[in-house]
């Protein structure tokens, strides 16, 4: 049993933190009075306390209490007892390193397989895939493994960007980077554009939001997938 929201981003242009998702989250966490927040990704180097406070302010709008995982003496045990869980964005390398260091990675997977509601944004979405290898982040620390939760049968590339027509940027596009990944790896990669998310209910995976997503498979042309498409059989 799985009950997940896997979002490309926490914030879309013109709206506050998590604002675009709050109506969805109110229903998603309806049976949870308290949600444990995993602040390990620390975007911009923000402290665990400051990051948790930012999240708490957003969740207060839907009458949910946020408690930072960093405040527990035994974080793995706290995850196993959680009513709901949110992993925020930031640096995926740092997040994964801390999840392994604290013993939370395995506890998180086993807990989420029981149906505890989960929200992941950006780095918190990266870790729901098979590996973290399609993150956009700099390798600022060295995790013991790139293997992540494997709650969906593919990798995720959050914040997916299309080439801008007429741009003078000479660097690699996101599609180029994913092609580099597929030179050595076989699993599909789903490029999630800003404002899009996946809804996972048991084994059903549905693309949500108003934008299409871009699906990459090794040695195949990319596909555009429209909202409400069922990704359950993607492998």
Active site residues: 122, 137, 159
Q: At what angle do helices 92-101 and 104-112 cross, to 10 degrees?
A: 90
Residues 6+ apart with CB under 8 A from 149: 105, 108, 109, 112, 127, 128, 129
Q: Which residue has the tokens 């490309």?
A: 8
Task: Report the candidate in 78, 87, 22, 79 with the shortest Cα–Cα distance to residue 48.
Answer: 87
Q: Do residues 112 and 118 lie in contact, with contact meaning Cβ atoms separated by under 8 Å?
A: yes
CA distances from 21 to 25, 28, 70 (A): 6, 10, 24
Q: What are phi and psi of 196, to 5 degrees?
A: -105, 155
Query: Which one-letter DSSP state was computed for residue 230?
Result: B
Sorted by sequence, the CB contacts under 8 Å of residue 85 that are 6+ apart come out as 35, 36, 37, 38, 79, 108, 111, 112, 116, 117, 118, 119
C-alpha 231/C-alpha 226 separation (Å) is 11
């Amino acid at each position: 049993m799985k009950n997940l929201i896997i979002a490309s981003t926490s914030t879309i242009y013109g709206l506050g933190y998590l604002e675009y998702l709050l109506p969805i989250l109110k229903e998603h966490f309806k049976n949870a009075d308290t949600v444990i927040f995993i602040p390990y990704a620390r975007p911009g180097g923000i402290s665990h306390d400051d990051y948790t406070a930012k999240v708490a302010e957003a969740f207060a709008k839907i009458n949910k209490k946020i408690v930072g995982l960093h405040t527990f003496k035994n974080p793995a045990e706290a995850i196993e007892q959680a009513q709901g869980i949110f992993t925020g964005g930031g640096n995926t390398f740092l997040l994964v390193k801390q999840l392994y260091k604290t013993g939370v990675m395995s506890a998180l997977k086993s807990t989420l397989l029981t149906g505890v509601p989960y929200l992941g944004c950006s780095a918190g979405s990266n870790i729901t895939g098979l590996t973290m290898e399609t993150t956009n982040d700099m390798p600022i620390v060295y995790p013991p493994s790139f293997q992540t939760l494997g709650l969906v049968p593919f990798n995720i590339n959050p914040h997916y960007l299309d080439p801008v027509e007429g741009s003078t940027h000479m660097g690699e596009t996101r599609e180029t980077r994913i092609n580099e990944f597929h030179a050595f790896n076989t699993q599909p990669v789903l490029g999630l554009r800003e404002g899009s998310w996946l809804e996972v209910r048991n084994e059903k995976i549905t693309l949500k939001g108003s934008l299409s997503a871009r699906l990459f498979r090794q040695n195949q042309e990319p596909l555009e997938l429209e909202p409400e498409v069922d990704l359950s059989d993607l492998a």
